[in-house]
Amino acid sequence: MSTTAVPPKKTNHIGLEVVQYKGGKTTLCAGCGHNAVSERIVEAFYEMGVEPWRVAKLSGIGCSSKSPAYFLNLSHGFNSVHGRAPAVATGAMLANRDLLGIVVTGDGDTASIGIGQFMHLLRRNLPLIYIIEDNGVYGLTKGQFSATSDYGAKSKGGSLNEMHKLDCCLLGIELGATLVARTFSGDKRQLLAILKAAIAHKGLSIIDVISPCVTFNDHPGSTMSYAYMKEHDVALHELDFIPHFDDIRLELEEGEARDVTMHDGSILRVKKLGRDYDPTDKMGAIRTLHEAEDAQEVVTGILYLNTQTKNFFDTLHMTDTPLASLPEQVTRPSKAALDEIMEELR
Amino acid sequence: MSTTLTSPARPDGDAAPAGVVNDFSIQVATANGSGSQTSNTVLMRAIFQMGIPVSGKNMFPSNIQGLPTWFTIRASKHGWIGRKKEVDFLVAMNPETAREDCLDLEPGRVLVYDEPLKLNELRSDLVMVPVPFDKLVGPVCPEAKLRKLVKNMLYDGVVAYMLDIEMEEIRKALFKQFGPKKVKAAELNWGAAQAGYDWAKANVHVEQPYRLERMKGTQGKIIIEGNTATALGCIFAGCTFVAWYPITPSSSLVESMIGYLKRLRTGPDGKGTYAVVQAEDELASIGMVIGAGWAGARAMTATAGPGVSLMSEFVGLAYYTEIPAVIVDVQRVGPSTGLPTRTMQGDILSNATLSHGDTRHPILFPSGPEECFSMAANAFDLAEQFQTPVFINTDLDLGMNNWMSDPLPYSDAPIRRGKVLSSADLDRLGGFARYRDVDGDGVGYRTLPGTNHPAASYFTRGSGHNEMAQYSERPEDYVNNVDRLSRKFNSIRGAVPQPEIDAAAGARIGMVYCGTSREACRESQEQLQREQDLPVSTLRLRAYPYTRALDEFIDSHEVVYVIDQNRDGQLFQLMRLDLTLERIQKLRSVRYYTGLPIDARTITDEILRQEAQ
Ligand SMILES: Cc1ncc(C[n+]2csc(CCOP(=O)(O)OP(=O)(O)O)c2C)c(N)n1
Ligand code: SF4
Ligand SMILES: [Mg+2]
């Protein structure tokens, strides 16, 4: 008998391997920021031990919106129409409240054609992870400026953007999203921690990931290039995420960090960097974003977190059972009920 | 109090019909928001309670207060409840329109009017009854600010006296209308109705031909608006998800649904077994419905033409991705302001072909409340069985007017959720191909998100996919897919409700119609037979796609008139899309498009005109 033991396969706490979280092969450009986001999503769902079949991944249209095909092959996916993923996701989540929904869209998808749906999504605090792969351009239609492009940014062809930008994080904080973060596709550690926090959060998470388009917006003069982000990315804090199933949680010591307990019992450790930033302070968050814009800084981290507000299921007084699985006996009232109504109409 | 009740203005000539019992129309002209809705409904219900078949049609403006409104009640011992073109008995309360209303009447008709309008100066060939409403209302309604509302109940009393409507039925209808919570208001109004009656008894001595007489024509019937019937239909069909954006004439459908859902579908935990979302627009409402349908809820929206236009892109997506959705289109006249509160069969063509690329959608055409109810269940079953958007095409006339109807028919037929694979099915099968035609009916099997099985997931995307739901731009895959969608549409043909056919012996002429044209077409069929000795067969389409029955009907007639309530003959055009040339050549088109419901006389006259050519 052989004595060389086969090393046990590495699995997460529900016994799945990382390959079971992978998606199809990407068809995006090599070096596109969106690919890095897909990779982090695979890691985050694997490390959090989410059952892949419980996940619904949705998107609109764009290079970014193709991303759901590149992660979580074992989850149902829906590449819908341009700018309308919020509506489709809302319907899906309400139909089955046990799903964990993740939307991946672009800045064109969200901030232009879909801005109306995005703003109304923010108002509802539907449990959902909403990622904007933000590159300041319409990648798929070959590089036109998008509404998140900074004032004064230069296009690849040399033209200047002279329109004010639309900040999806500011809108998110203002209109009711309960977890709002900005991060950079190149910052693996921060992006991963934020994704895990969003998985643990039972409300609407908006994650604006600066995700450079190497083909149309990675040149000098761009404010969304890898080079620009290297110089202008200012992390607000260092984030550690301790999942609810991790026993280390119990041994955490009080320290310099702020600890936020997430809905599932996980702990988000927010460690101070340069400044003391309180992500539960709404006004502070808004001020910080405005100041950063003036200072030409891209502040990253969890900008705002509120674990206290009720979510959309509560607002609608919905039953705990997913609507999709309610049996006929529950969804069709009795003949007696109809007879009573008929009597009233005689 | 005025004692001046003029001796009746004698009708000149002999145009006044002699003794008309239970077969005439009453119209009340008021201003919108003046509170006349209650008194009109009470009048209609009292007639209904006397056993006389009745219909009530409200012609109202797109306005909350001030613009003119006409409510027409038709009593018909023959049971004709379509609109009647001519007004026989008019109550003119609105100074804005009184002159025109008066001049429009045929000679010999009856005109009750608010005395200060002095309509007696306009013509002398009507039976005129001026009523001093302002003088009468004071004593019955001490509170000045309520007088405008209570005034309306006075005419109920006057009309009741003149037409022999039993006051006890007025009382019953009135208290029912106000409900147990507003007894005080009901009593105030009842006082006014009685005052009107007493005044008329003492002062109105004119001779006029119209009378109502108790009969037994409404036993077991109900009075209901089509929108309420559709709302109940959706609830009893097990609908679990509604997303909507308010638009006349569909809003009252969802509002009625919300009310009944609270009552009927609150679970044992006190929470709803449904979700209703008022979305930000129709793009969002249909998007939500598609998301919910994808994830396995029985999902619907209700809208009107402008909303349907906005839903166009999404409906195409649902067609190609094969997601069930039910869309109730309560049709109205065209875009934007003007006639949004008038009826039209305006979206037949757009419903059938909505969106870009090659698309075809099934439509159901209810013609009355019973079908609003039963076809809601048909629509959900079709949508889920065939995994496609299905339209229920009603209109303002059906949706918002009062219809006399048989009670809505409860069904306990099993709800058909279509081909959905569970994890146990997947264990057995080992896997599945989302868009493969396994059963030869063009319909693939689907799984729902959340199905706990490694083989359950698939990726949903628009036009470019192969049988395995993998991304594909290959021409063969595209052709294979859209050809299967055609086969699927053909399978739907075998599952939709069959037309209602009334074949007349020896008929050379046929009439084809749908929806609310029913009452007018049936009455016209009877008119043509009785007045012209012209037998006409009728076929009422209850669904698109058409079935073989339509082919056979056309084959067995020389000419077939297609009746449309729109300018462009949309039903006519839609038939031309699908029929053979030989059959198309037999078709003629009758079109009515005033914003009012079609009436029998219009059809009869137009068929006779075309026949004479
Ligand atoms: C209704 C509609 N209008 C326009 C388009 C064309 N279109 C496709 S993707 C896109 C922009 C995508 O930009 P973004 O969301 O930023 O995604 P990126 O490609 O940059 O990742 C546009 C305008 C479309 N698909 N649908
Ligand atoms: S065009 Fe830009 S956004 Fe699109 S895949 Fe390439 S790098 Fe990414
Ligand atoms: Mg972009």
Q: What does the pLDDT look like over B343-367, one tens digit per residue?
A: 999 999 999 999 999 999 999 999 9
CATH number where A113 lies: 3.40.50.970
Report how far Cα B395 is from the mean position of its chain's Cα atoms. 4
Write out chain A residues lying below 8 Å of B287, CB-based: 80-81, 84, 86-88, 90-91, 117
* Ranges in chain B annotated CATH 3.40.50.920: 500-612
Answer whether 0.90 is exceeded by the pTM.
yes
State if residue A143 touches ligand 1 by the CB under 6 angstroms criterion. no
Q: What percent of chain A has pLDDT over 90?
A: 92
| pLDDT of the residue at B3 | 37
Show which of residues 336-355 on chain B sit within 8 Å of chain A, judged by CB atoms. none
The pLDDT tens digits for A39-65 are 999 999 999 999 999 999 999 999 999
Q: Is residue A320 part of a domain?
A: no
Over 60: is that where the pLDDT of B15 sits?
A: no
Query: CATH says B500-612 is which class?
Result: alpha beta
Structural tokens at position B332: 């109205």
**CB distance B347 to B331 below 8 Å:** yes
The ipTM (two decimal places) reads 0.97
For residue B397, give the nearest of B75, B136, B120, B81 by alpha carbon: B81
* Ranges in chain B annotated CATH 3.40.50.970: 224-405
Confidence band (pLDDT; 50, 70, 90) for B11? Answer: very low
Beta-carbon count within 10 A of B232 CB = 26
Over 50: is that where the pLDDT of B8 sits?
A: no
**CB distance B563 to B570 below 8 Å:** no
| pLDDT of the residue at A257 | 82
Confidence band (pLDDT; 50, 70, 90) for B61? Answer: confident
Distance from CA of B319 to the nearest CA of A (A): 12
Q: Is residue A257 part of a domain?
A: yes
| pLDDT of the residue at B340 | 83
Q: Is B224 on the interface with A (CB under 8 A)?
A: yes
Confidence band (pLDDT; 50, 70, 90) for B4? Answer: very low
Calculate the average pLDDT of chain A: 95
Ligand 1 atom showing the smallest separation from residue B313 Cα: 1
* Ranges in chain B annotated CATH 3.40.920.10: 20-219
Write out chain B residues lying below 8 Å of A115, CB-based: none
Confidence band (pLDDT; 50, 70, 90) for B16? Answer: low
Of B407, B408, B460, the CB nearest to A78: B460
| Residue B420: DSSP 8-state | B
Q: Is residue A294 part of a domain?
A: yes
Give, for B591, the enclosing helix (H) or strand (E). strand B587-591
Q: Whose CA is nearest to atom 1 of ligand 1?
A: A82
Over 70: is that where the pLDDT of A317 sits?
A: yes
Confidence band (pLDDT; 50, 70, 90) for A31? Answer: very high
Over 70: is that where the pLDDT of B5 sits?
A: no
Cis check: omega of the bond before B306, within 30 degrees of 0? no
User: Cα-flanking dihedrals φ and ψ of residue B210, to 5°?
Assistant: -90, 135
Confidence band (pLDDT; 50, 70, 90) for B522? Answer: very high
The pLDDT tens digits for B211-232 are 999 999 999 999 999 999 999 9
Write out chain B residues lying below 8 Å of A341, CB-based: 232, 260
Over 80: is that where the pLDDT of B327 sits?
A: yes
Distance from CA of A138 to the nearest CA of B (A): 20
- Total of domains in chain A: 1
Q: Whose CA is nearest to atom 2 of ligand 1?
A: A82
- Closest residue in B to A76 (Cα) is B457
Of A70, A135, A140, A156, the residue with max ligand 1 atoms within 8 A of its CB, to mutate for a pocket test, comes to A140
Which has the minimum average pLDDT: A110-124, A268-282, B468-482?
A268-282
CA of residue B359 to ligand 1 center, whole Å = 23
Q: Is B254 on the interface with A (CB under 8 A)?
A: no
Q: Is A166 on the interface with B (CB under 8 A)?
A: no
Contact B289 A74 (CB under 8 A): no
Of A120, A332, A337, the CB nearest to B238: A332
Structural tokens at position A6: 């086969």
| Residue B483: DSSP 8-state | H
Average pLDDT over residues A224-229: 97
Q: Among the CATH numbers 3.60.21.10, 3.40.50.12780, 3.40.50.720, 3.40.50.970, which is that of B224-405?
A: 3.40.50.970
The pLDDT tens digits for B379-431 are 999 999 999 999 999 999 999 999 999 999 999 999 999 999 999 999 999 99
The CATH homologous superfamily for domain B20-219 is Pyruvate-ferredoxin oxidoreductase, PFOR, domain III (3.40.920.10)
Domain boundaries, position A294: 18-315
The pLDDT tens digits for A266-313 are 999 999 887 889 999 999 999 999 999 999 999 999 999 999 999 999
For residue A217, give the nearest of A298, A292, A150 by alpha carbon: A150
Q: Is residue A327 part of a domain?
A: no
- Closest residue in B to A75 (Cα) is B457
Q: Is residue A89 part of a domain?
A: yes
Write out chain A residues lying below 8 Å of B458, CB-based: 76-77
Query: For chain A, give me the number of helices (H) and strands (E)?
Result: 12, 13
Which has the minimum average pLDDT: A296-300, B28-32, B318-322, B401-405?
B28-32
| pLDDT of the residue at B9 | 41
State if residue A79 touches ligand 1 by the CB under 6 angstroms criterion. no
State if residue A106 touches ligand 1 by the CB under 6 angstroms criterion. yes
Give dist(CA A313, CA A319) in Å, integer. 8
Q: Is B288 on the interface with A (CB under 8 A)?
A: yes
Q: Is residue A261 part of a domain?
A: yes
How would DSSP label each residue in A91-160?
A: HHHHH-TTSEEEEEEEHHIIIIITHHHHHHHHHHT-SEEEEEEE-SEETTTTSEE-TTSPTT-B-TTS-B
| pLDDT of the residue at B66 | 75
**CB distance B56 to B44 below 8 Å:** yes
Structural tokens at position B129: 């009854």
Of B270, B290, B457, the CB nearest to A53: B457
State the angle between helix axes of B475-493 and B369-386 in degrees (0 to 180), rounded to the nearest 10. 150
- Closest residue in A to B417 (Cα) is A328
Give, for B299, the enclosing helix (H) or strand (E). strand B299-303
Distance from CA of B504 to the nearest CA of A (A): 34
Write out residues with Cβ below 6 Å of ligand 2. A 28-29, 32, 34, 63, 135, 139-140, 213-216
| pLDDT of the residue at B578 | 92
Write out chain B residues lying below 8 Å of A311, CB-based: none
Contact A331 B221 (CB under 8 A): no
Contact A88 B294 (CB under 8 A): yes
CA of residue A29 to ligand 2 center, whole Å = 5
Give the CA distances from residue A116 to residues A110, B3, B243, in Å, rounded to whole numbers and listed in that order.
9, 65, 16
Of B271, B285, B313, the CB nearest to A318: B271
Contact A318 B460 (CB under 8 A): no
State if residue A139 touches ligand 1 by the CB under 6 angstroms criterion. yes
Write out chain A residues lying below 8 Å of B289, CB-based: 91
Give dist(CA A246, CA A233) in Å, integer. 31
Q: Is A217 on the interface with B (CB under 8 A)?
A: no
Strands, sheet with B363-364, edge to edge from the N-terminal-most edge strand: B275-278, B241-244, B299-303, B325-331, B389-395, B363-364, B543-544
